[in-house]
Amino acid sequence: MSDLLKTYFSALPALWVADTARYLVAAALMAAVLAVFWRAGLAARKLQARHATARDIRREILASLRSSLVFSLVAAAIFVAAQQGWIKIYWGFKQAGPLYLVLTLVLMLVAHDTWFYWTHRAMHHPRLFAVFHRVHHLSRTPTQWAAYSFSVPEAIVQAAFVPLFLVLVPMHEIAILLFLIIQIGRNVMGHCGVEIHPTAFGPGRWLAWNTTTTHHDLHHEAGRYNYGLYFRWWDKMMGTEHPDYRRKFEAIVAPRTAVVPLAPQRGASR
């Protein structure tokens, strides 16, 4: 037992730094993108008239840093489990090739979206909301810094997916890393408060099966509907997609064209 604890606590600092850096870098990059392209058109794609306050952003960052610590505590347990052979992580391609990496990564994303939808929806139950999910919904007008703004119980629920999945499905270490990058990237995009997705992601288009910033922002604004993370599948199947989603997305991504008054025709009455 002492050796296991030694391994656990020796791995924890590096994993804590990595998890914290992953959140900070992703959120800071999104903030930079919004700042650089604000006057180039993103200002017109802001989803809510209200602006998050400095106090809102401080709360989101502090809660997200706390969640990063919870994630690293779970990651250290995964490290110990892999060292002990309790779960299988491939460190090369001798046992499973690149195709296995791609297929299991896709499977992991689909499984995570399912986990997120049902746990997220459950946390909206009146008996669970205050304990698990209230902290996240303090961000009525979320920013990219709200990506990990969870209570400790919700952070534990979110962190539990990876070890549970790894118990069932051996993964490449590169696939796990890619999953973590995609997960934080999509989370930051969903909370940034500005629709950054092109029209191809709109309902009826070829990428319509993906969620957008509008999709998740409506969840924060309305307090219900739109429980999915990556995909719209579960919301559409279960009838939980916001009825106004299509209209709002199409309105926000519609090109803004200046209205030029017509010149009066010669001979027209004045």
Q: What is the pLDDT along the chain (270 residues), one digit of tens a residue?
A: 788 999 999 999 999 999 999 999 999 999 999 999 999 999 999 999 999 999 999 999 999 999 999 999 999 999 999 999 999 999 999 899 999 999 999 999 999 999 999 999 999 999 999 999 999 999 999 999 999 999 999 999 999 999 999 999 999 999 999 999 999 999 999 999 999 999 999 988 999 999 999 999 999 998 889 999 999 999 999 999 999 999 999 999 987 544 444 444 444 433
Distance between alpha carbon 25 and the CA centroid of its chain, in Å?
A: 14
Is 260 inside any structural domain? no
Is 201 inside any structural domain? yes
Task: Using DSSP bridges, classify how beta strands 89-90 and 171-172 pair: parallel, antiparallel or unpaired.
Answer: parallel
Is 237 inside any structural domain? yes
pLDDT of residue 151: 98
pLDDT of residue 65: 98
- Rounded to 10 degrees, the C-alpha dihedral 57/218/198/30 comes to 10
Whole-model pTM? 0.91
Q: Which pair of tokens denotes residue 231?
A: 């995909």
Per-state percent for the chain, helix, strand, coil, to nearest 5 = 65, 5, 30
d(CA 224, CA 221): 8
Is 270 inside any structural domain? no
d(CA 92, CA 168): 19
Residues 78 and 166: beta-carbon distance below 8 Å: yes
Is 181 inside any structural domain? yes
CA distances (Å), 115 to each of 12, 64, 121, 124, 165, in order? Answer: 25, 20, 10, 14, 10
Is 97 inside any structural domain? yes
Q: Which residue segment(s) compose the domain that 116 sits in?
A: 2-252
User: Within 13 Å, how many C-alpha atoms sit on residue 238's CB side?
Assistant: 14
- The count of domains in the chain is 1
d(CA 110, CA 115): 9
Contacts of 44 (CB under 8 A, 6+ apart): 256
Is 265 inside any structural domain? no
